[in-house]
Amino acid sequence: MADTVIRNGRVVSASGIRCADVAIADGRVVRIGTDLEKGIKEIDATGLLVLPGIIDAHTHPVYLDDLASLPVTGAHGGVTTVIHYAYAKPGEGLMDTIRRFREESESVSVLDFALHGGLFDPAHQAHEIPQAHEAGVTSHKMFMTYAKLGWMTDDYQLMRTLDILGQTGGMGMVHAENGLATDYLEDKTNEAGDDPLESFVSTRPAILEAEAIHRAMAMARVAGCPLYIPHMTARLGIETVARARAAGARVYAETCPQYLTLTDDDLRKQGPLLKIGPPLRSEDDRVALWRALAVGLLDTVASDHAAKAKTADDDFFDAPYGSPQIETMLSIVYDGGVNGGWLSLPRLVRVMCENPARIFGLYPQKGTLREGSDADLVLFDPAKVQEIRHATQHSQAAYTAYEGRSVLGEPVLTMQRGEVLVERGELKASPGRGRFLRTNSGKVSINELV
């Protein structure tokens, strides 16, 4: 007898939709079909979509939402697996950071989790990449911007680190903006006394994002290293990736809900609350992102969740980058993508579940509902009207980027490994149940993601 049977739902995979029941035992899916035997527990999913649990491959649990609270926030939004950036700051060892993130997460996380290495000082940290690989952390990020903050990796160290990754069998990741060029433009506008908000986008133009993407891809190809570009924002970047793929480059591309649904006009209205890097772009760029996501030029959607303390009245120049996104991500992308006519339901599952699982080597344990996979799923009500308000969110941030926005569709139950995590807004899971997941990043071909 199954531990749980979910009945009468519409089960969605990357290949299609079918009306079926899902039987779960010992934390795994044991059968999907009709007329299944009664389970110890029965869940009626009439009128609901049964989706694989969302995989958020881009989270920052080091601000207001930490390794304990960020997974809770995600679970409320239908996320069942997170991949955190374990940032090793200057003076910190990469392996020490990875061990600290893993140990703390295993004690407090309600979600299964994997880790990316984050290299703030690759000149003194990249030599530890082989050790990290053995420990199950196989993707590593560097910044091509934020020189004034001391975060930027120069081209020498970027090439060196990508070479180490290529030899190790790992995958590189970059925040792609031309940092020195944008710093010059920012200094120029500051000296002229220009309004920081109005000049924010113009000093970080999309063409300098595309230039950095191209530069990183060129180095990665020389190093024989696959490359993952997080938070892509613009048409020019998409075109750059498309040309590289046509020439045989193995480069994966991610965008985020904020870039799919907000523009620089929203930035002008909300000010510091929407100060994010790279910045919000034009309506033309927003539409180009949806088109690219629909046809497979973009592979994944992730939140870039970075909940920081700020208000709409803060000084824009001094306000920190980042916004809370993980809890609203599924609802926002479903409403904008499926209801908006850009994505089919199977395509939604592909870019939010299956593709991230494939890219980071978690498939088919994660990212799909099939016999033998982990019973990670979300029951989603496509007919439920939801008004997004900060008051109903679970992030420690004091705002949401979507205050007052009405969307059609809402997650009503989140389950991982057969255990209900959240049901109709109530947290059921206990801290420390999450398991560490070893990754094997960058092995899947681009054709398998489309």
Q: Return the bridge partners of 282, or none.
A: none
CB 257 within 8 A of CB 266: no
Domain that holds residue 10: 4-50+373-427
The span from the CA of 7 to the CA of 32, in Å, is: 10
pLDDT at 450: 84
What does the pLDDT average to over 431-444?
98
Examine the domain organization and report whether 329 and 396 are in the same domain.
no
49 has pLDDT over 90: yes
Q: What is the CATH number of the domain that holds 419?
A: 2.30.40.10
418 has pLDDT over 90: yes
10 Å CB burial of residue 100 (0-12, 13-18, 19+) is: middle
Examine the domain organization and report whether 237 and 140 are in the same domain.
yes
Examine the domain organization and report whether 10 and 143 are in the same domain.
no
What does the pLDDT average to over 189-199?
94
CB 414 within 8 A of CB 420: yes
Residues 233-259 have pLDDT tens digits of 999 999 999 999 999 999 999 999 999
C-alpha torsion angle, residues 236, 237, 239, 240 (rounded to 10): 120
pLDDT at 252: 98
The span from the CA of 265 to the CA of 168, in Å, is: 44
Residues comprising the chain, all counted? 450
Examine the domain organization and report whether 349 and 380 are in the same domain.
no
Q: Is residue 435 part of a domain?
A: no
Q: Is residue 239 part of a domain?
A: yes
Residues 90-126 have pLDDT tens digits of 999 999 999 999 999 999 999 999 999 999 999 999 9
- Model-wide pTM > 0.95: yes
Examine the domain organization and report whether 273 and 387 are in the same domain.
no
Q: Is residue 432 part of a domain?
A: no
Among 362, 393, 411, identify where a domain stops: 362
Q: What is the CATH number of the domain that holds 358?
A: 3.20.20.140
What does the pLDDT average to over 162-183?
98
Examine the domain organization and report whether 238 and 327 are in the same domain.
yes
pLDDT at 28: 98
What does the pLDDT average to over 61-78?
98
Q: Is residue 443 part of a domain?
A: no
Examine the domain organization and report whether 212 and 327 are in the same domain.
yes
72 has pLDDT over 90: yes
What does the pLDDT average to over 49-57?
98
Examine the domain organization and report whether 36 and 113 are in the same domain.
no
58 has pLDDT over 90: yes
Q: Is residue 95 part of a domain?
A: yes
Long-range CB contacts (within 8 A, 24+) of 421-425? 421/75, 421/80, 421/110, 421/111, 422/75, 422/76, 425/76, 425/392
Q: Is residue 265 part of a domain?
A: yes
What does the pLDDT average to over 32-43?
96
Residue 81 one-letter amino acid: T
CA distances in angstroms from 44 to 6, 240, 447, listed in the order given: 6, 46, 37
Examine the domain organization and report whether 319 and 409 are in the same domain.
no
Residues 216-229 have pLDDT tens digits of 999 999 999 999 99
CB 345 within 8 A of CB 9: no
The span from the CA of 142 to the CA of 152, in Å, is: 7
- What's the structural domain count of the chain? 2
What does the pLDDT average to over 49-58?
98
Among 337, 362, 387, identify where a domain stops: 362
Examine the domain organization and report whether 74 and 210 are in the same domain.
yes
pLDDT at 215: 98
pLDDT at 253: 98
DSSP line for 404-416: T-EEEEEEEEEEE
Examine the domain organization and report whether 134 and 84 are in the same domain.
yes
Per the prediction, the chain carries an average pLDDT of 97
Q: For residue 261, name the pLDDT band (cuts at 50, 70, 90).
A: very high
Examine the domain organization and report whether 264 and 409 are in the same domain.
no
The span from the CA of 148 to the CA of 17, in Å, is: 49
